[in-house]
A and B are shown apart, each in its own frame.
Chain A
Amino acid sequence: MNEDTLLSARGLTLHFGKVPALVNVDADLWPGEVLAVVGESGSGKTTLLNVLSGRMRADAGVTWYRDPQSRLHDVHAMPAPALRALHRSDWGFVHQNPRDNLRMSVSAGGNVGERLMAAGQRHYGNIREAAIDWLAQVEIDPARVDDMPRTFSGGMLQRLQIARTLVTHPRLVFMDEPTGGLDVSVQARLLDLIRSLVARLNIAVVLVTHDLAVARLLAHRIMVMQRGVVVETGLTDKVLDDPQHEYTQLLVSSVLQA
């Protein structure tokens, strides 16, 4: 593992029966960097995200995480309590469907405040204050702090999920198709928001997307996956402007034709 990588994976391999979801995948992520994982549906992107974040085990390979004290942790050898604590504090996970993460019968403020309460904060006024501040940061009217998420639009739900995730200032956030399923205009606004937040807060992101335009807008580096294999990796602009692998060339040309 390089001196200052935040997350490093080597030789990740995982089969579902005969389906190769990951084949000898290496990945590195530096602090503050956005790494996009792109590829067609079924290429293994979500599986990679789940393995990197310790939510799923690989058949082979290792994933290292460097904590703020610069100690290295083998993500899959961590005791469950430590991994769960990591997911509640230093890490975050943004799901494609915000309903998978939000508590739909709890107010927006309660949703945003939960990680603070889990981290031991016990001052109602401060928690509410932080929730209101975070709603504003994700461009939700703070007057809606007491409203139930079920009264929110799809784009607002996704922004609420982001506020709920970022409230503890994680250093590393995993995102799985965060703009999937949203209207194009709503997508554009959300992408701008994600881009400015991660830049300002210096958050490292592993971003899974099948959309090259999303990768281009948000990611510093890109990994292209095909049938579980990383076929090409490099700086986003370089890979997309001058793709070397024929599968990447196919992906890029299909975007240009569209």
Chain B
Amino acid sequence: MNGYNFAYLDEQTKRMIRRALLKAVAIPGHQVPFGSREMPLPYGWGTGGIQVTASVLGAGDTLKVIDQGADDTTNAVSIRRFFARTAGVATTTDTAEATIIQTRHRIPEKQLREDQIIVYQVPQPEPLSKLEPSRAETRRMHALAEYGSMHVRLYEDITRFGHVAISYDYPVMVNRRYLMAPSPIPAFDNPKMHMMPALQLFGAGREKRIYAIPPYTDVRSLDFDDHPFRTTRAPQCCALCGADDSYLDEVVTDDQGGRMFVCSDTDHCESRQAEGHTGTGEPITREAAE
């Protein structure tokens, strides 16, 4: 795109964001304020993630962008195209091939490596926001590691439902110090953050916050000793690749109530199919599923 700097942002802005990123990496899980810029996309479209990606992207990088696990949604396609045009970088849908993965709402099924960076788009960076509306107070709570009220929330869930009823954005303790919102990924993905070899960066554009988890960092989902954190997934196998261990999306296939469970990670599903794995391929009726 002529007339634009590499990866759209000017060098001074990227330097400012990199400084915030360095600070974030130095204090795992701690939210660092940054001067979020206007982007040619509205808030809610991943402007925080895009600014972080723009600041760490180099000419030799290969970029993958996923939205809810899929590479082919409008949002993922337009962000990928944006960087292909403004930075001229290679793009891919193959998790193994990517050096930077920008994501909304999922972590790829394939284990990430040391030479990769994953950038999360974050709508609400403050894990305590539902419990405490005041920013000044949540800052104080983080400074003093006063997280008792978050456990009260878990206590209430167990009392009411018999288990913790948080299925997305399930709060984690990073490096045994900071409570962190993992962004609205399913709780199913939380264990992938623990000791991940890849660098994890989080950008919240509207809230103007950046945070990070360095490689091989302890990341624990909050729980009680007698109610340990457990992941849940639909009890089905993927109808396309037969996977019984991946996170599934429910897809409605017709207007008769027919539906299919398929991998939410499209690249994972396609590469399994390429290896010869198959599912039933059949939609299931509502009765059969119950």
Q: CA of A110 to CA of B154 in the docked complex: distance in angstroms?
A: 10
Asked whether A118 and B225 contact (CB < 8 A) given A107-B156, A124-B158, the answer is no
Closest CB of chain A to B227's CB: distance in Å? 5
Is the C-beta of A123 less than 8 angstroms from some C-beta in chain B?
yes
Q: CA of A127 to CA of B224 in the docked complex: distance in angstroms?
A: 10
Is the C-beta of A250 less than 8 angstroms from some C-beta in chain B?
no
Is the C-beta of A169 less than 8 angstroms from some C-beta in chain B?
no
**Other-chain residue from B143, B146, B149, B225 in contact with A122 (beta carbon distance below 8 A):** B225
Residues B152 and A124 in contact, CB atoms below 8 Å apart:
no
Is the C-beta of A220 less than 8 angstroms from some C-beta in chain B?
no
Q: CA of A58 to CA of B159 in the docked complex: distance in angstroms?
A: 44
Residues A109 and B155 in contact, CB atoms below 8 Å apart:
yes
Residues B226 and A84 in contact, CB atoms below 8 Å apart:
no
When distances are taken between beta carbons in the complex, the residues of chain A under 8 Å from B158 are 124
Is the C-beta of A115 less than 8 angstroms from some C-beta in chain B?
yes
Is the C-beta of B144 less than 8 angstroms from some C-beta in chain A?
yes
**Other-chain residue from A85, A114, A119 in contact with B152 (beta carbon distance below 8 A):** A114
**Other-chain residue from B143, B144, B224 in contact with A124 (beta carbon distance below 8 A):** B224
Closest CB of chain A to B131's CB: distance in Å? 9
Residues B159 and A123 in contact, CB atoms below 8 Å apart:
no
Number of residue pairs A-B, CB distance < 8 angstroms: 53
**Other-chain residue from B152, B159, B224, B226 in contact with A103 (beta carbon distance below 8 A):** B152
Is the C-beta of B151 less than 8 angstroms from some C-beta in chain A?
yes
Asked whether A114 and B149 contact (CB < 8 A) given A84-B144, A107-B156, A107-B159, the answer is yes
Interface size class of B (residues with CB under 8 A): 10 to 19
Residues A81 and B144 in contact, CB atoms below 8 Å apart:
yes
Asked whether A114 and B148 contact (CB < 8 A) given A123-B226, A124-B224, A124-B226, the answer is yes
Is the C-beta of A78 less than 8 angstroms from some C-beta in chain B?
no
Is the C-beta of A17 less than 8 angstroms from some C-beta in chain B?
no
Is the C-beta of A27 less than 8 angstroms from some C-beta in chain B?
no
Asked whether A117 and B225 contact (CB < 8 A) given A81-B144, A84-B144, A84-B146, the answer is no
Q: CA of A45 to CA of B96 in the docked complex: distance in angstroms?
A: 69
Residues A118 and B156 in contact, CB atoms below 8 Å apart:
no
Q: CA of A124 to CA of B159 in the docked complex: distance in angstroms?
A: 9
When distances are taken between beta carbons in the complex, the residues of chain A under 8 Å from B155 are 109-110, 113, 117, 124, 127-128
**Other-chain residue from A81, A110, A115 in contact with B159 (beta carbon distance below 8 A):** A110
Closest CB of chain A to B53's CB: distance in Å? 37
